[in-house]
Amino acid sequence: MTTVINSGTAGPVVLEATELSADPGREAGFVEEAHRILADLVRGGAALGWVEPPSPREVAELLGSVLRAVRDGDGALRAAYLGRRLVGLGYWLRHNRPTHRPHAELEKVAVDAAAQGHGVGRALTAALVADARRAGVEVLTLDARGDNLTALSLYRSLGFTEYGRLPDYVAVGERRYDKVFCMLDLRRRS
């Protein structure tokens, strides 16, 4: 299901994985553009799980595993485009353990620095939540670095609640940050 971001102008379009793969032009450059976004964000200090920018190979392997999970019904991937340019991506993955199968982790939402503040992250996250609901996910969880106040605010505004915090858990050189755990119970209707 394509999502169009309403910004008063022709805004970004959020595609699901099947729509992305149906467009050979977009699919061909997806991994390279995703690498550009992720590496640039990490280089700028973004809290995406890497201390150093990931290599093109790391990103290709990561996205390959996400797309396999999507094909198996165990995940969802969304990509946000402005025209033909990728400006953001995000995904969730279902937990593998049988006792945790009804649950999934929102693993990553990344928005190109130039597109931040224009609703791309909100549209990606809302689309991923809707995908999780349709897939029968009962609880969607995530974790974020404690200094990522913009992301934490976004997640709260979409109904996520904090359920735990590990003080000074994330080490980036000499700096320490809290790891904040959040959840969205999809069994309840709002």
Instruction: Give the CA angle between residues 151, 153, 155 to the nearest 5°.
Output: 70
Q: Is residue 52 part of a domain?
A: yes
pLDDT at 71: 95
Q: Is residue 129 part of a domain?
A: yes
Residue 14 contacts residue 87 (beta carbons within 8 Å): no
pLDDT at 189: 66
pLDDT at 73: 94
Q: Name the E strands within 83-160.
A: 85-94, 103-111, 139-145
Our count of domains for the chain comes to 1
Give me the tens of pLDDT residue by residue for the chain, a chain 190 residues long.
544 444 445 568 999 999 998 988 898 899 999 999 999 999 999 989 898 999 999 999 999 999 999 999 999 999 999 988 999 999 999 998 877 789 999 999 999 999 999 999 999 999 999 999 999 999 999 999 999 999 999 999 999 999 999 999 999 889 999 999 999 999 976 5
Strand partners, 145: 179
pLDDT at 83: 87
Q: Is residue 162 part of a domain?
A: no
Q: Is residue 168 part of a domain?
A: no
Q: Are strands 139-145 and 175-185 parallel, antiparallel or unpaired?
A: antiparallel
Q: In angstroms, rounded to a whole number, what is the distance separating the alpha carbons of residues 57 and 63?
A: 10
User: Phi-psi region for residue 73, left (φ > 0), alpha (ψ -120 to 50) or beta?
Assistant: left
Total-model pTM: 0.91
Q: Is residue 53 part of a domain?
A: yes
Q: Is residue 167 part of a domain?
A: no
Q: Give the domain extent around 110.
A: 3-141
pLDDT at 11: 66
Q: Is residue 155 part of a domain?
A: no
pLDDT digits (tens, 9 = 90+) for 61-91: 999 999 999 999 999 999 999 988 999 999 9
Q: Is residue 173 part of a domain?
A: no
Domain containing residue 7: CATH number: 3.40.630.30
